[in-house]
Chains A and B, each alone.
Chain A
Amino acid sequence: MSISQPPTSGQRTANKAFRLSTFAFAWLSVALVVYIVCMITWEAIPAFREHGLGFITGTTWDANTGEYGILPEIWGTLYSSLLALLIGTVFGVSVAIFLTEGFLSGGVFALLKALHLQYHPLWGRLPEQLEHLLKNLVELLAAIPSVVYGLWGIFVVIPMIRPVANYLHEALGWFPAFGTPLSGPGLLPASLVLAIMILPTIAAISRDALNAVPNKLREAAYGMAATRWEAILYVILPTSATGLFGAVVLAFGRALGETMALAMLVGNANVISVSLFSPANTLAALLANNFPEAGQKEVGVLMYAALVLLAITLIVNIIGAAILQRASKNLEEVR
């Protein structure tokens, strides 16, 4: 037997089987997505035939009379997600700027320099290590399961903001957003917890976008005597704006589909209200609460609601991904 030999027929077969199986599984993953969409659509068809588009504009949900409508849920989903997005973006982009523009490492370095420790073999690595630690801590926020956030929201957030909310209602009750007292679960606590949950998403994608800004742009701005914040506001943020926007849209997609924290904190009430303190409901929470005990008829209606949620999140996610793709293309031009 020589050292080198052509592949035996067994090896050839194994090779062929391997290539075929990768091909099959690639197709399978595509088929899975198609199957998911088709199945939910298929199950929703009977309810769609019965209720039509009036389902989307209806405002009552009553299994006894067979009257179903999800307008309050759509309203609650959009309201809570947008509110969470507003809070989450402010904090998330701040964290991303803080991490990428060298605030922490610069500050710690200045402190070490004052103590003449900046080149110390141990202390000298502190700026880098602290930045790494902070990045990991923010990512840790994403690792905590949503049901734990829900539990924390019930026992920490609601008791904490309730006095403030009720004071605001008494003092500024004429303002629509403070129109009702906070009796327990409600839109504001749900949105606050939701904001915490989407913050890591925004921070991580914004960090990538800010990191992708070529350093020569920063240097050019500083070279023209811009202060750090002039450089950030007039050069770095506009250059990475598309990427930041993509981060916000993807986070919006996450917020729309988030279930547990909302099911536990939003109050599950079928009302449309502009008040921040009013209980409300969202599509995902509606599914979570009604599916386990649904009869056959209600399952069809719930599938219809799931289809609406699927359509909204799919559109938002595809828009977000497209924006991010354009952002990376734009930056290549800058380079």
Chain B
Amino acid sequence: MSANIHPSAPSTPTPDTRHLEKSLRNKQSLFSFAMSAVVGMLTILALVPLFSVVLMLFYRGGKSLSFALFYELPPGPMQEGGGFGNAILGTVVMVGIAAAIAVPMGVLAALFLAETAPDSRLAKTVRFCGKVLTGFPSILAGVFAYGAVVLLTGGFSAVAGGVALSILMLPTVMLTAEEALRMVPLKMKEAAIGMGATDFQCVWMVLLPTSLPGILTGVMLAVARAAGETAPLLFTALFSNYWISAGGNVELMQPTASLAVLIYNFSGVPFQNQVELAWAAALVLVLLVLTVNLIGQAISRRRID
């Protein structure tokens, strides 16, 4: 082309731009391409377990899923049929107890962190404790509840399970609530204070309503996590083959079944029916956890809009 534009200057050679183009013959580009391929493959491989788990859950759990599972009691070793109604109820009750402890405590501590004294030394200590609890092994929450509740009251109970779960919920609730409270625009707070609101009125009528979606998201995440926890329930709530409520009144001070412990107990047995039940329970548990998770995310997405 350049020869046509400059016919009078044939002596100027066409600059050779081939070495500037991207070509896999170039060692650098080849290396870059190879690394990209490797990272892409590793990323895809990392997602294989997720799909495998979900597939197996629907394949093996979906097979034995029936309506009777939700209201019948767990079967014995050689029995046919049965369900895990008491385990679902137990999980709901224990997560409810845990939320009743962790949510007020977490939100009030978060209010201290975000409002009352955000920069005090106590606030720093509280945040540090929150982080320590975030990385706290769940089995140790069970050990604590065993020592604090089971040894004290003299038996395994739903309350002990709830206490153990509440320790795992507390940091999530507290740290996300603090984050949500800090997201409230300063001008809203200033407007409330400018109108002569006391701190309490400002928090109750402006801060909490505005940050409610964020706080609820944190609560939902914590509930989802607690519902799937097994280790803290193994030796606090133990397991039970019977309903938590006997003749209308709920017995919170006796061993209580939960979905997670049922899966654990039935996973290691040689009885086909119980293993199938464990898969069905796993499917129900995962769907439960994912639903709560998605609700939490939907709430926080509405806040951004």
Q: Which residues of A contact B (CB under 8 A)?
A: 4, 6-7, 11-12, 14-15, 17-19, 21-30, 32-33, 35-36, 39-40, 43, 90-92, 94-95, 97-98, 103, 134, 137-138, 140-141, 143-152, 154-156, 196, 199, 203, 227-230, 232, 250, 253-254, 256-260, 263-264, 284, 287-288, 291-292, 299, 302-303, 306, 309-310, 313-314, 317-318, 320-321
Contact = CB atoms under 8 A, between A and B. Distances in A.
Contact of A145 (B35, B125, B230): B230
A29 B174 contact: yes
B245 interface: no
Given A26-B113, A30-B126, A259 B105 contact: no
Contact of A29 (B105, B282, B286): B105
23 contacts: A11-B201, A22-B112, A26-B122, A28-B105, A30-B125, A32-B129, A36-B140, A91-B45, A94-B43, A95-B42, A103-B40, A143-B228, A143-B289, A144-B286, A145-B228, A151-B263, A155-B56, A203-B46, A230-B32, A253-B135, A259-B138, A292-B238, A317-B131
Contacts of B53: 144, 148-149, 152
B145 to A, nearest CB: 10
Nearest to A91: B46
A103 B39 contact: yes
Interface of B: 28-29, 31-32, 35-36, 38-40, 42-43, 45-47, 49-50, 52-53, 56-57, 60, 104-106, 108-109, 111-113, 115-117, 122-123, 125-126, 129-133, 135-140, 142-144, 146-148, 151, 167, 170, 174, 196, 198-201, 203-204, 224, 227-231, 234-235, 238, 260, 263-264, 267-268, 278-279, 282, 285-286, 289-290, 293
Given A143-B289, A196-B49, A309-B140, A151 B278 contact: yes
B52 A141 contact: no
Contacts of B111: 22
Contacts of A15: 198-201
A29 B126 contact: yes
Contact of B139 (A25, A230, A284): A284
Contacts of B198: 7, 11-12, 14-15
A257 B139 contact: yes
A19 B116 contact: yes
Nearest to B146: A291
A291 B234 contact: yes
A29 B130 contact: yes
Given A19-B116, A23-B112, A98 B31 contact: no
A264 B39 contact: no
Given A151-B278, A291-B142, A306-B143, 18 more contacts: A7-B196, A11-B198, A30-B125, A32-B170, A33-B132, A36-B140, A43-B147, A91-B45, A95-B43, A145-B230, A147-B264, A151-B282, A229-B35, A259-B230, A284-B139, A302-B143, A310-B140, A320-B135
A203 to B, nearest CB: 8
A227 B170 CA distance: 46
B144 A39 contact: yes
The 6 closest A-B pairs by CB, nearest first: A257-B137, A145-B228, A25-B108, A317-B135, A94-B42, A259-B231
A156 B57 CA distance: 11
A203 B45 CA distance: 14
Contacts of A26: 108-109, 112-113, 116, 122-123, 126
B235 to A, nearest CB: 4
Contact of B144 (A21, A40, A144, A147): A40
B32 A227 contact: yes
A221 to B, nearest CB: 12
B289 A145 contact: yes
Contacts of A21: 108
Contacts of A303: 143, 147
Contact of A148 (B35, B43, B142, B282): B282
Contact of A95 (B46, B106, B126): B46
A39 B141 CA distance: 11
A243 to B, nearest CB: 16
Contacts of A97: 39
Given A30-B129, A291-B235, A147 B228 contact: yes
A81 B73 CA distance: 38
A22 B122 CA distance: 12
Contacts of B47: 134, 137-138, 141
Contact of B199 (A19, A260, A291, A317): A19
B81 to A, nearest CB: 21
B39 A145 contact: no
Contacts of B108: 21-22, 24-26
A153 to B, nearest CB: 9
B28 A40 contact: no
Nearest to B198: A15
A17 B260 CA distance: 40
Given A36-B167, A292-B238, A152 B56 contact: yes
A39 B43 CA distance: 43
